[in-house]
Amino acid sequence: MKGWIVGLIAVMVIAIALAGAALLLLRPRGDTIILDLEAGDCFQVPADIANSTISKIDTISCAKPHEAEVFATGELNPDRDEPYPTDDQQTFARIDSQCSALLVDRPDVVQRFGVLPVVADEKSWSSFRGRYVCVAIPYGGGTTTGSLGL
């Protein structure tokens, strides 16, 4: 009897593992959370960027024409002990300044790209440790090819 139960548990574990792998492989496009991106990841800018909330995006190889590239990341709440900032504009300005400071020695990038800082919202503040990503977007829109190599 014990052998039958152990066998059933093993089959269930394998089935769950296969289902999880299928979900990862069959995940629809646009399911990449922007706060999970790392420096060097390229993507297309969502059409609804005007609403000032970016959450899930489509990543793309930097070798192909793309509209944006993450060039740095950071955390404002690494110990998960700070509450969400009450002044969104001040927080945004702080991150914008930190991102822009990383480009001081790269005038070639500063002349061609604007900086878009993206920060965790209040809902995801603690779980993402106040994570932010620094994104470079070509001035005037359009696409670019290759990586910034920062």
Can you list the residues of the chain whose pLDDT is less than 50?
Answer: 2-29
For residue 75, the cross-strand partners are 131
Q: pTM for the full model?
A: 0.73
Separate counts of helices (H) and strands (E) for the chain: 3, 6
Q: Which residue has the tokens 């994104």?
A: 135
Residue pair 105/111 in contact (Cβ under 8 Å)? The answer is no
Residue pair 147/69 in contact (Cβ under 8 Å)? The answer is yes
Angle, vertex CA 83, rays to CA 77 and CA 84, nearest 5: 85
Residue pair 98/74 in contact (Cβ under 8 Å)? The answer is yes
pLDDT score of 77: 87
The pLDDT tens digits for 36-69 are 999 999 998 877 655 556 667 889 999 999 999 9
